[in-house]
Amino acid sequence: MIDKKFLCCDDAWRDEEIYKKIYEFSMQNPEKYWEAQLDRLSWTKIPQIVAEKEESGLTRWFPDGKINACYNCVDRHAEKTPYKTALIWQSEELENYEYISFKKLKDEVCRFANTLKKFGLTSKDCVTVYMPMVPEGVYACLACARLGIPYSAVFAGFSPNAIALRMDDCNSNFIISCDANRRGGKLFHLKKNVDEARKICGRNVRALIVRRQNVDIDWNDEFDIDYYIESRDMPTDCGIADTDSLSRLFILYTSGSVGKPKGVVMGTGGFLLFSTLTGRYFFNLFENEIFWGSGDIGWMGGHAYALYAALCNGTTSLFFEGIPTYPRNSIFWEVVDKHKVTTFNTAPTVIRAMMKHSVEALATSSRSSLKYLGVFGEILNRDAWLWYFHDVGGGRCPIVNMWGQTELGGVPTAPLSNLGDMKTYGHIGRQFFGCQLVLKDEDDKTITAPNVPGALFIKYPLPGMLIEIFGDEDAMKKIYYSKSKDGIYFTGDEAYFDCNGNHWITGRIDDVLNVSGHRISPIEIEEVIAGVDIVAEVSIVGFPHELKGEGIFAFVVLKKDITEIQRGNAKSLISDKVRKVISPIANPDIISIVNDLPKTRSGKIMRRILRKIASNDTDDFEDLTTISNPNCIQDIMQSIKGI
């Protein structure tokens, strides 16, 4: 029997022998593994029950425990290392930044919490946090956690309709926001969006407004509250709610790339333990490190790791209020150098945006402080991976090519970068300790052979997984636990594992193409097309085909600096490459050259929209509140006329 101290050994991600012993134990005894990790957090009541399984398939983690997320992220570090930097806030102007110690973080969170208490908010409310990447956004979230008030984090780039949809769904009557924020040299009027969202909701929603830009804004004295006026005399001490482990911590709405957004509710104890531990091992979140997760706190990547995991581990977390290409294409790497960032985590879209200006982007920085590079959101294509590994990281920084979902509360699998697995292009590694992934075929039988694709399930639930879909009791079983007779969690993805146990995602189950009886991964075709020199972006979807059953439709964005001759030859170049590298079977039936692809605010390509366009089913695109570039839809529809 392995003792508890050994199971908590931080050398597990550095020493292969230690890793293997803990890994094997955790696969056979997942509950005992997670029980051993409880001391990584500070509990007001240590749970005696590890997990309770319900008939629906849902597992309730640490149900009799009590814990406060804010105390774990703030107070315990403020007591031990008060003057250590907790947060670095950096604007798009390199000379404009702020270092915030754990002591100051505690003071400001308490000030914010006391302000919320002044307006009578309790655990029965749900507060909407519609904030950009600024310190007050962190204060707001942690203040809610301190008081045991569940909150809904909403991406600051969302439209009034998207805000209203989320506020209505979770019955929120209180919103925290800013007057405005600057991104890419432009001023975005968040208060104006709040006002419009309140009109759409048709009810009296109070708004706590943080004036950061001091711009003129419409003001309603009855419902608008000036944060700095109300908080200036507030004490910097505030009691801590003794919250249940299963109490609602926050709600994040899924991106909408698969239809109407769902309110994914995260519990407190299980989520905090899972994000803290996976962050520690996958992203090197130790006390002396500086972590920059460029994902917005309105998304799970930013929320789980940049906010909770980093602070809970006592790691310095950097928040950047800007975009990767302004005021220079090198700004991200200049920020890395300035603040000595050790782990950088971003989305493939960001990497490709900077890669387009490779020489300019890298010329003014050394990036010598970097130890780890991360990728989240989608699989990174080969050329971008090689640029990221060799050009950005100098061939010395492992790339953590992770896989996760909003519903999972974190990352259950990523490459074992600290164990020498540095050249990890394409696969997402092995599952984390205690995480049991399983593949099923179309007959619901478990796939045990390598290199055989199947539907990806999670056999044993993870502590960080959602505890409910807000307002829909039946949704959990219907969406996640009804796809297999075993009643296990269905991810919606297709994958396979190789001979080394590494997992490879081939795409969403709905995305996998069945062409003349052949199952073809759209990711595989996208990878080949993305390797054509003149191609900037590509998305592959299926469409009804009279002979094949399903045809292959390629939406391709070309690079801007190519010649007219190259543009004219683009389709033949793409077709020839696919035929040569994969097979004529995988050759797209239709190649449409477009100016842009529809994406969510987090950079994911909205393939469901492209599938509708390819299938000429454009009467109803369903929810479009999360799309960042809605104008491109009409452009794409216009471009394929006559094809």
Domain that holds residue 589: 518-639
Residue 114 lies in a domain: no
| pLDDT interval class at 478 (50, 70, 90) | confident
The tally of domains found in the chain comes to: 1
Residue 428 lies in a domain: no
Q: Is the pLDDT of residue 642 over 80?
A: no
For position 418, what pLDDT does the model report?
61
| pLDDT interval class at 461 (50, 70, 90) | confident
Residue 558 lies in a domain: yes
Residue 531 lies in a domain: yes
Residue 338 lies in a domain: no
Least confident of 83-97, 505-519, 540-554: 505-519
What stretch of H or E contains 66?
strand 66-67
pTM of the model: 0.85
SS3 per residue for 187-236: EECHHHHHHHHHHHHCCCCEEEEECCCCCCCCCCCCCEEEHHHHHCCCCC
Residues 285-334 have pLDDT tens digits of 999 999 999 988 888 888 999 999 999 999 999 999 999 989 999 999 99
For position 599, what pLDDT does the model report?
85
Residue 627 lies in a domain: yes
| pLDDT interval class at 257 (50, 70, 90) | very low
- Rounded to 10 degrees, the C-alpha dihedral 429/430/435/441 comes to 90
Residues 6+ apart with CB under 8 A from 34: 50, 51, 61, 273, 434, 463
| The residue to which tokens 């070309």 are assigned | 558
Report, as an integer, the average pLDDT of 80-104: 98
Neighbours of 139 (CB within 10 A): 27
- Quick one: DSSP state of residue 81? -
- Quick one: DSSP state of residue 379? P
For position 258, what pLDDT does the model report?
45
Q: Is the pLDDT of residue 422 over 60?
A: no
For position 217, what pLDDT does the model report?
96
* CATH code: domain of residue 580: 3.30.300.30
Q: At what angle do helices 522-530 and 570-581 cross, to 10 degrees?
A: 120
- Rounded to 10 degrees, the C-alpha dihedral 490/494/499/503 comes to -70
Residue 505 lies in a domain: no
- Number of residues assigned to the chain: 643
Instruction: Measure the CA–CA gap between 188 and 147, rounded to whole angstroms.
Output: 30
Euclidean distance between the first and final Cα of the chain, in Å?
Answer: 66
The answer to whether the CB of 131 falls within 8 A of the CB of 156 is: yes
Residue 633 lies in a domain: yes
Looking at per-residue pLDDT, the higher value among 105 and 635 belongs to 105
The answer to whether the CB of 541 falls within 8 A of the CB of 607 is: yes
The answer to whether the CB of 263 falls within 8 A of the CB of 166 is: yes
Instruction: Measure the CA–CA gap between 589 and 548, rounded to whole angstroms.
Output: 10
For position 404, what pLDDT does the model report?
87
Instruction: Measure the CA–CA gap between 541 and 611, rounded to whole angstroms.
Output: 6
